Structure 1
Amino acid sequence: MAVPSLHSLRAFESVSRLGNIAAAAAELHVTPGAISQQLRALRLSLGVDLFRKNGRRLELTERGATLQKSVGMAMHQIADSIREISANVSSGTGKAELCVSAPSVFGTTWLTARIFQFLDANPDMRLQMLTAITFEEVDWRKVDVAIVYGSPPWPGFSWRLLHSMHAAPVCSPQLLRGPHGIREPRDVLHHRLLHEDDGSQWRHWLMQARVPHSVQSDIYFDNFAMVLQAARDGHGVALTNDIISFRDLDEGRLVQPLTLFAPAARNYYCICHEEGLANPAISGFVDWLVDQAAKPSR
């Protein structure tokens, strides 16, 4: 039997890890149709089914799981070799290089306030910064360490909690004034509730506040930086916490009129490949992130 193409094995490994063709297509920068074609070619080449459907996810069959172990190990070995070669090439500069990914709003409000302290304390390091929100959006072919907003587990990866998210309303100081000024939980209903999701976080907060509600909104954002800017401009009330909004609260652009916090469905985690922890640069940076997260933001 001929060995299947590397393209089909690469597509198989990505889908088996992410459980979704669309996510694998995004990771490999191809179309979902191309991924489906590669999986079909691999199945015909081997003559066995490698996946079964479970709702929207694709789960490995017993034979698929056997193949995944070998393919996953081979892909990691290739990635390790590439990183080793790259490290040798860059060794002439005398600096170790790390590629770090973080959600844009987290990077803007929390990480950039600290990352230059890390560089000052580690002059032998060079960082490349990328942006991604969820685990599935991270380009793990490039990234050594990622901060993601999500929920474990992530097989094949090591993760450590950075921040447990508990959200409270924030708004422009102007929303504290006038007949509809926010003084108690039910007052937020006089204003536009700004969402990054489908409104579920606001519904959860209002339920915790014992406020009867039917959350409706005429606008949703897929980027929390836009939510914060809309709140700064006085267009409504956002749900966030001190980790993301501490600068705005310190400098008076936003205020926190109510102190009722509700837990978020997801949290911020620091993630790297399991084998990456053997690299002192990666493990040291992860330890530094966790240490920084344990310190007060304000």
Structure 2
Amino acid sequence: MKAMPIPALNNLRVFESVARLGHMGAAAAELHITPGAVSQQIKSLQSSLGVRLFNRQGRHLVLTPAGLSLHRSVAKGMEEISEGLRHAISQSQQALPTTTLTISTEPVFGASWLLPRLFAFKAAHPHIRLRIIEASHASEVDWRRADVALLYAAPPWEGLWWRPLRNLHMFPVCSPRLLQGRNALRQPYDLVHQRLLHEDDGTLWRRWLLEARVPYPGDSDLQIESFSMALQAACDGYGVALSDEFNSRRDLDQGLLVRPFALAVPAGLGYFCLCPEEQRHVPDVVRLIDWLIDSASLDGVPS
């Protein structure tokens, strides 16, 4: 008999969390990914197995008989894997000297996406101490202090080695208050009645509006060159900003910002992990960069 292919471990890990917690949002919070990513993983698992694993009861998910049977085996297997990993890590960490890595990154990205994930990295690599310093552009990174930089930019950079973290998509974000009232945002054309918050020369807004088939209303009467200040102005209800799936993740999850429209367009740039050429083979630097890239690959675009 031909052996059945085993589903991806990530799919099984997400399934175990959803099955135990009964809610995709709770599983997303536990795994530090978006509910959209959880939903995609569950759909992929059910498609590969050809069986339905959950039924919805109100706001909760309940295991089907097939799902219940699978969960018993997966939960037991995940516990055995976790125990094996703890034992292996414990033994390996005893032989590893304590090191310190300094990460240079942008303030908004650091607070909204990077920092929550570094606590999970620390749990898996207790021998590595981390420091975070601030830089918004490659030219601002202090490589006398930084071992790794995470930046929204475009290569090449002389003397540096890099790997792409993720390409980004831009979409409008605003306060939930702008979805109500006389000039409520119901369709893209309603943006002509709102202040468009710029943190560039308007290029990104022109690109999004072109895809939405909405005329560009002209340059804003208030240009904000700080991305973090533009997002804060959007949170406070002063207009609509363009953001992405990394930098507005926390505000979207907390309901401080909403996406009034589903349309998202490629940003043209993306986030990159950078390090000096001479650092690219340092084991702990490799561990950190590999871990960050794996973590980014698990995240879906928030809906």
Does the alignment pair 1:172 with 2:175? Answer: yes
* Distance in 1 separating the partners of 2:215 and 2:126: 55
Q: How far is the alpha carbon of 1:240 from its aligned partner?
A: 0.9
More divergent stretch after superposition (229-238 vs 241-250): 241-250
Aligned partner of 2:254: which letter? E
* Distance in 1 separating the partners of 2:221 and 2:248: 24
Deviations 1:42-68 (A, max 9, x none): xxxxxxxxxxxxxxxxxxxxxxxxxxx
Please tell me whether the aligned partners of residues 202 and 215 of structure 1 are also in contact (alpha carbons under 8 angstroms).
no
Q: 1:290 aligns with which of 289, 293, 300?
A: 293
More divergent stretch after superposition (143-152 vs 238-247): 238-247
1:102 counterpart residue number: 105
Which structure has more relative contact order (CA 8 Å, sep 6+)? It is: 2
What residue ranges of structure 1 are gaps of 5+ in the alignment? 1-92
Q: How does 1:274-289 map to 2 (within 5 A)?
A: 274-289=277-292
Q: How far is the alpha carbon of 1:94 from its aligned partner?
A: 4.3
1:113 counterpart residue number: 116
Say which SS state the counterpart of residue 244 (structure 1) adopts.
coil
* Distance in 2 separating the partners of 1:94 and 1:276: 17
Please tell me whether the aligned partners of residues 168 and 245 of structure 2 are also in contact (alpha carbons under 8 angstroms).
no
Q: 2:251 aligns with which of 248, 251, 260?
A: 248
* Distance in 1 separating the partners of 2:198 and 2:265: 15
2:19 counterpart residue number: none
1:40 counterpart residue number: none
User: What fraction of aligned residue pairs are identical, expressed as a percent?
Assistant: 47
Does the alignment pair 1:122 with 2:125? Answer: yes
1:191 counterpart residue number: 194
Please tell me whether the aligned partners of residues 196 and 239 of structure 2 are also in contact (alpha carbons under 8 angstroms).
yes
2:215 counterpart residue number: 212
Deviations 1:217-262 (A, max 9, x none): 1222222111111111100001112221122112211110101111
Please tell me whether the aligned partners of residues 174 and 239 of structure 2 are also in contact (alpha carbons under 8 angstroms).
yes
| TM-score (normalizing by structure 1) | 0.66
1:71 counterpart residue number: none
| TM-score (normalizing by structure 2) | 0.65
Does the alignment pair 1:156 with 2:162? Answer: no
What residue ranges of structure 2 are gaps of 5+ in the alignment? 1-95
Say which SS state the counterpart of residue 239 (structure 1) adopts.
strand
Kindly report structure 1 stretches of 4+ aligned residues shifted beyond 4 Å.
Answer: none
Say which SS state the counterpart of residue 196 (structure 2) adopts.
coil
Deviations 1:63-102 (A, max 9, x none): xxxxxxxxxxxxxxxxxxxxxxxxxxxxxx9410111101
1:264 counterpart residue number: 267
Say which SS state the counterpart of residue 264 (structure 1) adopts.
strand
Please tell me whether the aligned partners of residues 176 and 257 of structure 1 are also in contact (alpha carbons under 8 angstroms).
yes
Please tell me whether the aligned partners of residues 203 and 215 of structure 1 are also in contact (alpha carbons under 8 angstroms).
no
Say which SS state the counterpart of residue 237 (structure 2) adopts.
coil
Say which SS state the counterpart of residue 99 (structure 1) adopts.
strand
* Distance in 1 separating the partners of 2:166 and 2:226: 19
Deviations 1:247-280 (A, max 9, x none): 2112211110101111113211110112212210
Question: For the structure 1 residues 241 and 145, does the alpha-carbon distance in structure 2 shift closer, same or farther, using more than 3 Å as the test?
Answer: same
Aligned partner of 1:97: which letter? T
* Distance in 2 separating the partners of 1:214 and 1:256: 20
Say which SS state the counterpart of residue 105 (structure 1) adopts.
helix
* Distance in 2 separating the partners of 1:195 and 1:265: 17
2:26 counterpart residue number: none
Say which SS state the counterpart of residue 248 (structure 2) adopts.
helix
Please tell me whether the aligned partners of residues 102 and 148 of structure 2 are also in contact (alpha carbons under 8 angstroms).
yes
